[in-house]
Amino acid sequence: MPFLKVDNACVSFPLHLDDHGRSFRVSLLKMLGLHRKSPARNYKRALIDIKFTARKGDRIGLIGRNGSGKTTLLRALNGIYEPESGRIIRSGQQVSLINITLGMDMNASGINNIFLRGLRMQMSREQMMLKLGDIVDFTELGEAINQPVRTYSSGMVARLALGIATAIPAEIVLMDEWISAGDSRFIERAQTRIEAYLTDEKILVLATHADSLIREWCNKVVVLEDGHMVSFTGVDEGLAIKEQVYAGTYPLPWKQ
């Protein structure tokens, strides 16, 4: 059973990397004892004491302004950034759909890319063979599936990537904005496919600016502001809180 718990997680970005005082030359001189102490390290706190728990069937929308920490939180959940304090506890196979074309080999054929992605997800050739027909049907690439991916149009690449991504079993799905995919007819097909993919057995975490997506796909909402978590509530309440935060009428304890 999938489970995701964020326990007072904090993430900070170093801002001192470009400081002259912490350059290679100064560090070297310091090591040799020829330089006085370097200036203090300087951090931007990007996530501060984030705390929520997601269980099976939870579809969490991350909302907030630009720079409020949505993507950073998503990356922390993914394991890209590790919290310097607090913990993120996760159980269940996690798949990041942040960039679905990641790891695609442009010189390999569509078929080979399907197997390549399978290898990446540690699936056996036999397991992938079972999925192959379904993926190929969905992409509607026809003969082009045997051509190198670099000959594809961007819509074809998106179809292939989505077809592959939604065929890999996962329990926790991370998305940064919605997956964009091709023409209007395909958008509909993509919608159906993602719907079938995001069963109630899964956990979805979706970072987005679009209220409509939140209403359509999510049942819980995390509102972020300045790296702090403002609230963790149901959808309607969360969207209302977001509006208040944007308007500046919501009381933010760290601002008082």
The binding site for another protein (CB under 8 A) comprises 3, 9-10, 12-14, 17, 23-25, 27, 41, 43, 75-76, 78-91, 94, 96, 98-99, 102-103, 105, 107-108, 119-120, 122
Shortest CB 226 distance to another protein, Å: 17
- Separation CA 229–CA 226 (nearest Å): 8
CB of 232 to another protein, least distance (A): 19
Picking from 254, 239, 249, 247, the residue whose alpha carbon sits closest to that of residue 63 is 239
Cβ nearer to another protein, comparing 57 with 83: 83
Q: How far, in whole angstroms, is CA 195 from its chain's centroid? A: 18
Residue 232: name the closest of 6, 2, 3 by CA.
Answer: 6
Q: Return the number of the residue (96 or 139) whose C-beta is nearest another protein.
A: 96
For the record, the structure tokens of 128 come out as: 């992938």
- Shortest distance in whole angstroms from residue 43 CB to another protein: 5
What are the strands, taking DSSP E only, across the chain? 3-14, 43-55, 59-64, 85-91, 94-96, 172-176, 203-207, 220-225, 228-233
Is the CB of 81 or the CB of 152 nearer to another protein?
Answer: 81
Q: Residue 23 Cβ, how far from another protein at the closest point, in Å?
A: 7
Residues in the chain: 256
Min. distance of Cβ 250 from another protein in angstroms? 26
Nearer to another protein by Cβ, of 85 and 192: the residue is 85
Residue with Cβ nearer another protein (79 or 234): 79
